[in-house]
A and B are shown apart, each in its own frame.
Chain A
Amino acid sequence: MRTLFFFLAVMATLSLPSWGYAEDALVVYSGRAERLIQPVLNAFQAESGINVQMLTADSTALINRLQMEGDRTPADVLITNDAGTLERARELQLLQPAADPDVEATIPGRFRAPDNSWIGLSGRIWVIVYNTIMVNPEDISSILDLAGPQWKGRIAIPSAGSVYLQTGVSVIRAAKGDQVATAFLRGLKENAGSLVYGKNRQIVAAVARGEVAAGPVNHYYINRHLAKHPDAPIAPLPTDQGKQGMGVVLNASGIGVTTHTKHLTQAQALVRFLISPKGQRMFADVNKEYPLNPNVTAAPELLPLQNIQVADVPLSRLAQLRDPTMTVIEEVGLR
């Protein structure tokens, strides 16, 4: 018996010091896939010698968490894959404004919060990936076309939890109204059947294998797939171009320094690293996203962003559109 108690006591004491995180570490709350952000953070850690700790979770859950933690939060910066979430965090005063001339000179105004409390890092457009053997791209002019009956059984779509889908629906609601958005979602649901995927990567792979002809995805999943399989019969199609078109949906991943950070200088160092040519190059080369620093060129195989017409919905408006969008998606019953 005594041995047992001894064992338990040792166990408890040993585990005490290992709890929690190192006090001097820079804590990053990240809503991005670890695979897409870890290499950049590692590069920062190597260059600056600042120890970085990351907590990965759903962007919305991270905002809830920040709100609940209040001024006790261990988080120093928030990184998400959706500008709407960052704007929401700003409205809740979870992020602190900054007057950094460096930032203002580097990142164009439309990719920042007015008070710089969040800063866009990389851009992504919501396009259609199509199988070049099965589809004539001239048959598609708008993303809304995918809801038409001719696509029944031929498309794969993202799941309801996808931030990209939510952003896309928000923009369609803003541009065309709730009824059009609802009809679009009903059509998608009908056409995709059981081909609802949690990851854009899976949609791209399904199109490349020819299981389906097309699907809506973020552009860089197509380029990442092509980088690995150069012969895959897939191509990106930016929709809704031309005078009448609403333009493609553009969203930005971004970063904000929390209001209650205890490591302000280190957090700002991370921001500056991520918008610097070196950091931006990694978003461009490794992730195939559009760098938002205009001095850094996108990967050569990408469609040039300046040739693409982008939907005229400011990133900061995505925040207000978000909750009603969720309700629309739930009402249609997307999974």
Chain B
Amino acid sequence: MPSPLILLGFCLAVTLMLPLLYVVFSAVTADPAVWGRLWTTRVPELFFNTISLSLGVAVINLTLGISLAWILTRYTFIGSRIWDWLLILPLSIPSYVLAYTYTYLLKRGGALEHAWQTIAGPEATFFSPFSFEGAVLVLALNTFPFVYLLARSAFKNFNVSFEEAARTTGANRVTTFFRVSLPLIRPSLIAGLFLAILYVASDFGAVSLLRFQTFTYAVYQQMTGRFDNTAAACLSLILVACAFVFLFGERWFRQRSRFYQTTGRYRKPTPQPCRPFTALLFTGYLVLVFGAAFGLPVLLLIQWTVTSASAGDITPQFFGYVWNSVSLSGLTATAAVMCGIPLAYLACRRRTWAGTFCVQGAYTGYVLPGPVAALAILVLVSQTVPQLYGTILVLLMAYLVHFLPAALQGMESTLQQLTPNLEEASRSLGARSLRTFFYVTLPLVRGGFLSAWILVFVQCMKELPASLLLRPVGFDTLAVRIWLEASEELYQLAAPPALLIVVITIPVVLLLMRKDRT
């Protein structure tokens, strides 16, 4: 007789995996004609677009991430400590909010074009936001902090002896940087890149507003533009298969490239003060990047919010949307932590094959981009419990499948740090396992569990595709409102909910980063 814990974990894992299995099933059993149509009309273009977008974003991310991290870890100048914090803030802007501010900034006859024309002549034009360049720009500005953060910590814990050895044997600064420093931080760069690419490939918000055709967006389009979901399921299957290959690739890559400090001296780099002119140059660069990724969009949002508030557009309905978002996100976060507890326990304390199966099963949501998760839940519910369709429960399930992995990851690592000795001591003194859990384990891990709760809460507040596709009548969330208004180009109306989401997200991003640093 298996323990109740395993049974519970098993039920959870199966519930979380079922949606994916249903998508795979409906794609595999699809009419070959549908596959034929997709292969000839859509798939090559989608592959090309998704890959080129990821590569474009990757190149910009690397350039920005490395240069910013290098400047801020190797030099000190006035304000260099503050930038450390400021450069994380772009992570608090959802991709669709950044995209919609850029559709305004980059539009023909828009502010940026005017500024550009005063420099480059009246005939000069900017690229359209609805293009490859536009999508690359928006997503790169949205994700470069991932690469920056990892490059930064790599540069901080870097042994300068290697560089000094290179310099003493005659290499100049540039050669040293490219031949010694960069290769040494390669593992963290690759980790940051993988994170950014996964984010780009699964992004729905930005590409849908910029109408750049990627797999994730195409799934949504097939779901909303066609009278059956088979084609959407087929595209989903391809996307999920790629995600699996990608994740295994990353794991393999990480295992191959590890660098160790074997012997000898280890010295951390000390930042050097720099000359006023260089400091000015650096500050200018930092202001430019920060302004583009955070400052300018947020200023616009504030301005629009003020206009729309004074025009009386903030109605009682708006607070209804706020309440919808907050209550649903809170509920999902609570559910995620509750479901996470047995799974995290299995992962840390019962390393059997059954336990591993449950935990890995729960992580399936990682490879499901928002529209695919929504599609999966939709298909599953309509086949099994159609009564639930159109209720809040369906949306809750989609959120859970999508965000439980993020919660689980944090909870697992918290529980891992807690030695089983304490629990064993409690058990040996006669407490039952539940009592032990509530009186010994839980008080010790609540900090980690709380941050998992907050993480899921914020993710849900920002969630767009599943909310769009599965929301019940009268249950628009803030994210849905932003998207609906922004896709009509009603900038002012979209601003108040967008600003609110950014404001709620900022402290969370800072909190998570602070934890990361200590």
Q: Does A141 contact B (CB under 8 A)?
A: no
A56 adjacent to B484 (CB under 8 Å): yes
Interface string of B212-225 (1 = CB under 8 A from A): 01000000010111
A105 proximal to B (CB < 8 A): no
Residue B475, interface by CB 8 Å: yes
Report Cα–Cα, A166/B328, bound state, in Å: 37
Query: What residues on B are CB-neighbors of A55 within 8 Å?
Result: 471, 473-474
Chain B residues whose C-beta falls within 8 Å of the C-beta of A75 in the assembled complex: 473
A58–B465 alpha-carbon span in the complex (Å): 13
A94 to chain B, nearest CB (A): 12
Q: Which residues from chain A contact B130 at a C-beta distance below 8 Å?
A: 194, 196-198
Given A4-B450, A202-B489, A331-B41: A21 and B473 interface contact (C-beta under 8 Å): yes
Q: A335: which of B211, B227, B331, B389 is its contact (CB, 8 Å)?
A: B211
Instruction: List residues 42-71 of chain A with CB under 8 A from any CB of chain B.
Output: 53, 55-58, 60-61, 63-65, 68-70
- Contact flag A70-B474 (CB < 8 Å), given A15-B328, A194-B128, A209-B108: no
Question: Is A20 a contact partner of B392 (Cβ separation < 8 A)?
Answer: yes
Pick from A4, A11, A159, A330: contact of B331, CB below 8 A.
Answer: A11
Per-residue contact bits, chain A 293-335, to B (CB 8 Å; 1 contact, 0 not): 0000000000000000000000000000001001100110101
B448-488 CB contact bits vs A (8 Å, 1 = yes)? 00100000000000000000110111110000000010011
> Considering the chains assembled together, what is the distance between the CA atoms of A74 and B211 in angstroms?
31
Counting CB contacts under 8 A, is B278 at the interface? Answer: no
Determine if B420 is an interface residue (Cβ-Cβ < 8 Å).
Answer: no
- Cβ contacts under 8 Å, A331 to chain B: 40-41
Nearest residue (CB) in A for B109 is A209
Do A35 and B489 touch across chains, with their CB atoms under 8 A apart?
Answer: no
Pair A19/B224 contact, Cβ less than 8 Å: no
Q: How far is the CA of A161 from the CA of B40 in the complex (A)?
A: 19
Residues of B within 8 A of A63 (CB): 227
Measured CA separation A271–B41 after assembly (Å): 41
- Assess whether B435 is interfacial by the CB under 8 Å rule: no
Among A11, A195, A202, point to the contact of B334 (Cβ < 8 A). Answer: A11
CB neighbours (8 Å) of B225 from chain A are 58, 60, 161, 326
Q: Within 8 Å CB of A211, what residues of B?
A: 108
Q: Is the CB–CB distance between B474 and A69 below 8 Å? A: no
B175 lies within 8 A of chain A by Cβ: no
Q: How far is the CA of A278 from the CA of B469 in the complex (A)?
A: 34
Check B316 for interface membership: any CB of A closer than 8 A: no
Take A20-B473, A61-B224, A202-B489 as given contacts and tell me if A72 and B331 are in contact as well, using a CB distance cutoff of 8 Å. Answer: no
- Give bound CA distance, A55 to B45, whole Å: 33
> Which residues in B have their C-beta under 8 angstroms from that of A69?
386, 389-390
Cα of A61 to Cα of B225 in the assembled complex, Å: 7
Task: Report A1-32 residues with CB < 8 Å from chain B CB.
Answer: 1, 4, 8, 11-12, 14-15, 18-22, 25, 27
Residues of A within 8 A of B469 (CB): 61
Contact yes or no, B488 A64, CB < 8 A: no
Does B413 touch A at the CB level, under 8 Å?
no
Q: Given A18-B327, A331-B40, are A35 and B490 neighbors across the interface (CB < 8 Å)?
A: yes
Does B324 reach chain A (CB closer than 8 Å)?
A: yes
Given contacts A21-B472, A69-B390, A73-B390, whether A1 and B446 have CB atoms under 8 Å apart is yes
The verdict on A161 contacting B221 (CB below 8 Å), with A18-B323, A72-B386, A327-B41 known, is yes
Smallest Cβ distance from B402 to chain A, in angstroms?
A: 19
Residues of A within 8 A of B37 (CB): 327, 330
Residues of A within 8 A of B475 (CB): 19-21
- Residues of chain B within 8 A of A197, CB atoms compared: 130
Shortest C-beta distance, A74 to chain B (Å), equals: 5
B109 CB, min distance to chain A CBs, angstroms: 6
Residues of chain A with a CB closer than 8 A to B131's CB: 194
Interface flag for B330 (CB, 8 Å): yes
Chain A hits for B108, CB < 8 A:
206, 209, 211
CB distance from B23 to the nearest CB of A (A): 16
Contact B330 A15 (CB under 8 A): yes
Which A residue sits closest to B439, measured CB to CB? A1
Q: Is the CB of B489 within 8 A of A12?
A: no
A20, B223: Cβ atoms under 8 Å? no
Chain A residues whose C-beta falls within 8 Å of the C-beta of B327 in the assembled complex: 11, 14-15, 18
CB–CB B331/A12 < 8 A: yes
A327 neighbours in B (Cβ, 8 Å): 37, 41
In the assembled complex, B442 has its CB within 8 A of some CB on chain A: yes
Is A34 positioned at the interface, with any CB of B under 8 Å from its CB? yes
A110 near B: Cβ within 8 Å? no
In the assembled complex, which residues on chain A have CB atoms less than 8 Å from the CB atom of B128?
Answer: 194-195
Contacts of B474 on A, CB cut-off 8 Å?
A: 20-22, 25, 27, 53, 55
Please report the C-alpha to C-alpha distance between residue A316 and residue B174 in the assembled complex, in whole angstroms.
70
List the A side residues contacting B229 at CB < 8 Å. 64
> Which residues of B sit under 8 angstroms from A180, Cβ to Cβ?
none
Task: Tell me, in angstroms, the Cα distance from A4 to B334 when the chains sit together.
Answer: 10
Q: 10 more A-B contacts (CB under 8 A) besides A55-B473, A199-B489, A330-B42?
A: A8-B334, A15-B330, A19-B392, A19-B472, A159-B211, A161-B211, A194-B130, A323-B226, A327-B37, A331-B40
| Shortest 10 CB-CB contacts between residues of A and residues of B | A15-B327, A21-B474, A61-B224, A58-B224, A330-B41, A11-B330, A55-B473, A21-B473, A8-B334, A19-B392
Identify 27 residue pairs between A and B in the complex whose beta-carbon atoms are under 8 Å apart, listed by A's number: A4-B450, A8-B330, A8-B334, A11-B331, A15-B323, A15-B327, A15-B328, A18-B323, A19-B392, A20-B392, A20-B474, A21-B475, A27-B473, A27-B474, A34-B484, A64-B224, A64-B229, A65-B390, A68-B389, A69-B389, A161-B211, A195-B128, A196-B211, A199-B489, A331-B40, A333-B41, A333-B45
